[in-house]
């Protein structure tokens, strides 16, 4: 039964919201434009703000729903992180799109909102702070991912959050940074575009 939840988590994650937005709104394959990601940032640059907001919210919901269902069916913490990871994997490598999906930021946020809304909101706060000051989505995403294990560790020390959740925060951070490796190179070179630039 628990293995079925892993499959469900993967299928939730692989729902191609950004790809569908490109096809239905502009008749394009978003994977052929910009970064090639199906995430909200690439949608923002090539489709528009409303579509990007919709994609972001759907991707957050995918992550949140997978953890919500795991908790609803009283799965233990280790199975919750396994299902969360399967959802992230589905988002990054969706079977429907030849394994080419998003960068795990919005879906990761949804997962951590499901695990601990305090941790999720604190991480979102870091993202918003960096966006406000620098207006570079990738910088905000990487900064939030780096802050996530620290935020989770503080919660781990002061609440009932268990060790498996600290582990998934480290794994999620690693995935997000790896998916942003090209962005990080551009950031170092000062070539990463700000919001509103292509």
User: pLDDT digits over 36-90, tens only?
Assistant: 899 999 999 999 999 999 999 999 999 999 999 999 998 998 999 999 999 999 9
Band (184; pLDDT cuts 50, 70, 90): very high
The 10s digit of each residue's pLDDT in 117-168 is 999 999 999 999 999 999 999 999 999 999 999 999 888 766 656 788 888 9
CB 36 within 8 A of CB 100: yes
Alpha helices in the chain (DSSP H): 2-13, 17-21, 40-46, 49-72, 77-92, 105-115, 117-134, 137-158, 163-179, 181-189
pLDDT at 14: 96
pLDDT, position 1: 72
**What's the CA gap between 92 and 105, in Å, rounded?**
10
Is the predicted pLDDT of residue 6 greater than 90, yes or no? yes
Burial label for 151, CB within 10 Å (0-12, 13-18, 19+), is buried
For residues 57 and 52, what is the distance between their CA atoms, to the nearest angstrom? 9
Cα separation, 119 vs 123, in Å, equals: 6
Instruction: Measure the CA–CA gap between 76 and 128, rounded to whole angstroms.
Output: 32
What are the structure tokens assigned to 16, written together?
């191609």
Joined tokens for residue 35 = 């970064």
Tell me, what's the pLDDT at 153? Answer: 87
Identify the pLDDT of residue 158.
Answer: 61
pLDDT of residue 161: 65
Report whether 133 contacts 116 (CB < 8 A).
no
What was the pLDDT predicted at 2? Answer: 80
Share of the chain above pLDDT 70, in %: 96
Cα 107 from Cα 90, distance rounded (Å): 10
Name the 3-class secondary structure at 179: helix
Distance between CA atoms of residues 72 and 56, nearest Å: 24
Question: Over the stretch 14-48, which tens digit does the pLDDT of each residue have?
Answer: 999 999 999 999 999 999 998 889 999 999 999 99
Query: Shortest CA distance to 48 belongs to which of 36, 58, 57, 40?
Result: 40
**Neighbouring residues of 143: CB distance < 8 A, sequence distance ≥ 6:** 126, 127, 130
The overall pTM is greater than 0.85: yes
Where does the pLDDT of residue 9 fall: very low under 50, low under 70, confident under 90, or very high at 90 and above?
A: very high
Please tell me the predicted confidence (pLDDT) of residue 159: 61
């Amino acid at each position: 039964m628990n293995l079925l939840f892993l499959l469900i988590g993967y299928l939730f994650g692989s729902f191609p919201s950004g790809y569908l937005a490109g096809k239905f709104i502009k008749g394009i394959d978003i994977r052929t434009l910009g970064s090639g990601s199906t995430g909200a940032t690439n949608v923002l640059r090539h489709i528009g703000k409303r579509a990007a907001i919709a994609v972001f919210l759907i991707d957050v919901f995918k992550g949140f729903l997978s953890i919500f269902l795991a908790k609803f069916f009283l799965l233990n913490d280790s199975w919750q992180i396994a299902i969360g990871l399967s959802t992230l994997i589905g988002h990054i490598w969706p079977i429907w799109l030849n394994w080419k999906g998003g960068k795990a930021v919005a879906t990761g946020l949804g997962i951590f909102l499901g695990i601990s809304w305090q941790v999720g909101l604190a991480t979102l706060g870091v993202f918003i702070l960096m966006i406000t000051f620098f207006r570079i989505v990738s910088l905000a995403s990487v900064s939030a991912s780096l802050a996530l294990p620290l935020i989770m560790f503080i919660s781990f020390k002061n609440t009932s959050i268990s060790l498996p959740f600290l582990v998934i925060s480290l794994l999620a951070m690693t995935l997000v940074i790896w998916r942003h490796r090209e962005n990080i190179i551009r950031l170092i070179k000062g070539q990463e575009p700000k919001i509103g630039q292509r």
